[in-house]
Amino acid sequence: MFKVCVDAGHGGKNIGTETPDGSILEKDVNLAIAKAFHRNLSRLMWFTDCKSTRESDRHVLMRQRGVVSKRHGSKLVYTIHCNNLPDRVADGVRCFYWPGNETGKAIARAVADAFPSPLRQKTAAVAAAAPGAQQNVLKVHKATAVLVEVGFLDDPEDAASLQDPKIIDGIVAALLVGVAEARRLIP
């Protein structure tokens, strides 16, 4: 059985980022994607077991997220987040992996390449996690972990895309491509 953990970032009082008008909260986008992924992974990929770090709008401490994936015996962890960078020149998906982890890099590349076009960035979509928040999200997990920043909530096009059920389905499909790559690469 190949075990996957999906970590819907933020939750509860920790809303993460939001659209400029506050109408879309990161915690809600992350949870919706994580739930759709969990539902589809269980249905579409035999011999794959999925565990979620949260299944409702509640706050889960960072270290507890790592405990969940470790107890589950996860071989792959997706941590789902949104971005918000004022004065940026980028948009769309960004996938990060632990520096030096070639398996994580390959999975991150597979996910980014399969992302639906409104959110797919043509360049620099995959990178090693930078010290600080990006690495902190990944380091609590003992398994290969990929941080998937699904889009920028301060970008009107990205924010609208993240509310479209067809785009959410495309994001889930991209995450499933990553699971297939993980199953190929991780014993």
3-class secondary structure for 96-139?
Answer: EECCCCHHHHHHHHHHHHHCCHHHCCCCCCEEECCCCHHHHHHH
- 17 in helix, strand or coil? coil
pLDDT tens-digit series, residues 135-186:
999 999 999 999 999 999 998 999 999 999 999 999 999 999 999 999 999 9
Please indicate, yes or no, whether the overall pTM of this predicted structure exceeds 0.75. Answer: yes
Q: Where are the beta strands (DSSP E) in the chain?
A: 2-8, 48-52, 76-83, 94-97, 126-128, 144-152
The structural domain count of the chain equals: 1
Domain CATH code at residue 55: 3.40.630.40
pLDDT tens-digit series, residues 42-80:
888 888 999 999 999 999 999 999 999 999 999 999 999
Rg of the chain on CA atoms, in Å: 15
Domain coverage including residue 137: 2-185
